[in-house]
Amino acid sequence: MSIPDNGAAKRRLPIGIQTFREVRGEGYYYVDKTAHIQRMTDGGKHYFLSRPRRFGKSLLLDTIKELFEGGEELFRGLAIHDRWDWGRPHPVLRLDFGGGDFEQPGWLSEDLTLQLEAIERSAGIAVGSGSAPARFRRLIAELRERSGRRVAVLVDEYDKPILDALGTPEVARANRSFLRGLYSVIKSCDAHIEFTLLTGVSKFAKVSIFSGLNNLTDITLDPAYSAVCGYTEQDLDEVFAPELGGLDRDEVRRWYNGYSWRGAEKLYNPFDILLLFRQREFKAHWFETGSPKFLIDTLLRRGVPTPDLEGMVGTEALLSAFDVDEMAVEALLFQTGYLTITGEDAENGLAQYRLGYPNREVRQSLNERLLVALLPDAARRLAQKTSLRRLLADNDFAGLETLLRAVFAGVPHQWHTRNNIRDYEGYYASVVYSYFASQGLDLVAEESASGGRADMVVRSESGVYVFEFKSVERASGRALAQIREKGYADKYRRLGRPVHLIGVEFSREDRNIAAFEVARAA
């Protein structure tokens, strides 16, 4: 449904603005997160938060910085204003690892030294010497002594020096060791510290980087802080109402809503929403600003079929199992924002989180990148996607078979050998799934039915299409027969749309379609 313009006054869109003073002082839209900050300061002292890139972590830290430094004029009208003691400002020590190329050996030490020197000069403290942890410790103590008040310690992109160097593990390990020593200072200086918040994309295992800082409160999956970053539906209605005119709200939700960290509400990535408001186009705004090459390479190296990405399950421990030498695929996908929590179950008192794509943007864009990696000469294959929607709309199954045969026809025998493909059924299913998903079609992999799971189900206005894939020596008709025998289509009859059963068998020898059978559900 398209929403009419309500005539309210528009403000500036804070695209790329991470400075709270600029946002509040220069007429930008601002979503008030200060109630969450108040909850943190009232309930504890040392905090950790993981969120995907471009979710507002840096602005959150800068807001906290201005709060502790006593910038009262910036907070008038916000939730925290009347609940904060503005007569007691605190010194703030903020480190930011968002810049630099930390894949280069020694860069981390040099970068941190420059940051500490800048803070010392700004505070009028004599530039120190010695190791980075030693200087960090002296700086915290000196700021406390000079002001008479405890220090707020804020660390932005705490993990970037490790993430940047994952391609060169020896550098990543060295950076991890360096940071472990640095962050351990926070615990040893507890008497001088009023508040701590470390933020980043990943959540490294405590034993690897926070072994010396075991008093952190991790609020990553705390429902009370699920919306500490990101925009809610209410935020769009109340803060961005002037921007919604002319946009199809249901389409906005399909494209960009859906992130969850166990809260009652689903969230939008702020960058997506702000770019949508500026460009007025539904595009992969967030996805296109990052390169998931490491993720794609990891999925292919570990042989993860692309349909499996929708049905992953993990415990909180598994979703935190991220380190240089051990990266659970579930943790990698969840922490980087390509999967989110879609449901929660308890088994023997242990929470199990169901994972899935948050929205159309991520599903469509990630599968397009996966398709490029799965298919040689992918540019030509991707050009063929333009007819896929038309073929489904027309129920042109002969054309669909021809299209899929063309997709696989260009895969040379040497490519299979070079890429060590053994699970042919998984490979072919991955290509077909990613091919359909990259078109933004409404589909589900491994859809549960009374008799088992259908490999793929596609829904469109023209009908429901239930797919089963088999890898065979020769055509057998088993794929279509399985759909019928297991009753995969039964649950869709009530939708009032035609239901089509499509059994696709792939020849291991010919490396293409051996049988493509279609039937209409009775």
pLDDT, residue 464, reads: 95
pLDDT in tens, 392-430: 999 999 999 999 998 888 666 555 544 545 567 788 889
Asked if residue 1 has pLDDT above 50, the reply is no
pLDDT in tens, 287-319: 999 888 889 999 988 889 999 998 899 998 888
Q: Locate the domains of the chain by residue range.
A: 32-225, 291-356, 375-520
What DSSP line would sit under 378-433, residue for residue? HHHHHHGGGGHHHHHHTT-HHHHHHHHHHHHHT--HHHHHHTT---HHHHHHHHHH
Mention every residue, 6+ apart, whose C-beta is less than 8 A from residue 202: 50, 159, 162, 163, 322, 335, 336
Of 231-240, 256-265, 469-478, minimum mean pLDDT range: 469-478
Contact between 196 and 47 under an 8 Å Cβ cutoff? The reply is yes
Tally of CB atoms within 10 A around 313 = 13
**Which residue, among 500, 499, 504, 501, has the nearest Cα to 516 in the 3D structure?**
504
pLDDT in tens, 11-59: 999 999 999 999 999 999 999 999 999 999 999 999 999 999 999 999 9
pLDDT, residue 414, reads: 52
Residue 3 — pLDDT band, cuts 50, 70, 90? very low
Mention every residue, 6+ apart, whose C-beta is less than 8 A from residue 205: 320, 321, 322, 323
Asked if residue 211 has pLDDT above 50, the reply is yes
Alpha helices in 189-239 (DSSP H): 206-209, 233-238
Length of the chain counted residue by residue: 522
Asked if residue 503 has pLDDT above 90, the reply is yes
**Which residue, among 286, 445, 427, 285, has the nearest Cα to 370 in the 3D structure?**
427
Mean pLDDT of all residues in the chain?
Answer: 90
**Which residue, among 153, 123, 148, 149, has the nearest Cα to 136 in the 3D structure?**
153
Task: Phi first, then psi: give them for residue 307, nearest 5 degrees.
Answer: -65, -25
The CATH label, of 2.40.390, 3.40.50, 3.90.1210, 3.30.70, for the domain at 32-225 is: 3.40.50
249-257 average pLDDT score: 98
Asked if residue 194 has pLDDT above 50, the reply is yes
pLDDT in tens, 337-392: 999 999 999 877 788 999 999 999 999 999 999 988 888 765 565 566 668 888 99
The owner of tokens 């351990």 is 184
Residue 96 — pLDDT band, cuts 50, 70, 90? very high
Q: Which helix (H) or strand (E) segment is 156 a member of?
A: strand 151-156
71-94 average pLDDT score: 97
Q: What's the pTM? A: 0.92
Distance between CA atoms of residues 435 and 414, nearest Å: 22
What are the E-state strand segments in 331-394? Answer: 340-347, 350-356
Of 163-167, 194-198, 325-329, 476-480, minimum mean pLDDT range: 325-329
The owner of tokens 């932005």 is 156
Asked if residue 161 has pLDDT above 90, the reply is yes
pLDDT, residue 386, reads: 62
More confident residue, 375 or 173: 173
Task: Answer positive or negative: Cα dihedral of 498, 459, 309, 342.
Answer: negative
pLDDT, residue 2, reads: 44
**Which residue, among 108, 235, 132, 124, has the nearest Cα to 182 in the 3D structure?**
132
Report the CATH number of the 375-520 domain: 3.40.1350
pLDDT, residue 87, reads: 96
Distance between CA atoms of residues 377 and 379, nearest Å: 6
pLDDT, residue 461, reads: 86
190-215 average pLDDT score: 86
pLDDT, residue 380, reads: 60
Contact between 364 and 435 under an 8 Å Cβ cutoff? The reply is no
Asked if residue 95 has pLDDT above 50, the reply is yes
Tally of CB atoms within 10 A around 514 = 20
Mean pLDDT comparison of 131-135, 224-228, 440-444, 457-461, highest-scoring range = 224-228
Mean pLDDT comparison of 266-275, 405-414, 483-492, highest-scoring range = 266-275
pLDDT in tens, 504-513: 999 888 888 9
Please report, rounded to a whole number, the percentage of residues in the chain having pLDDT higher than 90. 69
Going by DSSP bridges, is the β-strand pair 151-156/193-200 parallel, antiparallel, or unpaired?
Answer: parallel
What's the Cα-to-Cα distance from 153 to each of 61, 140, 187, 277, rounded to whole Å? 10, 9, 11, 35
pLDDT, residue 346, reads: 84
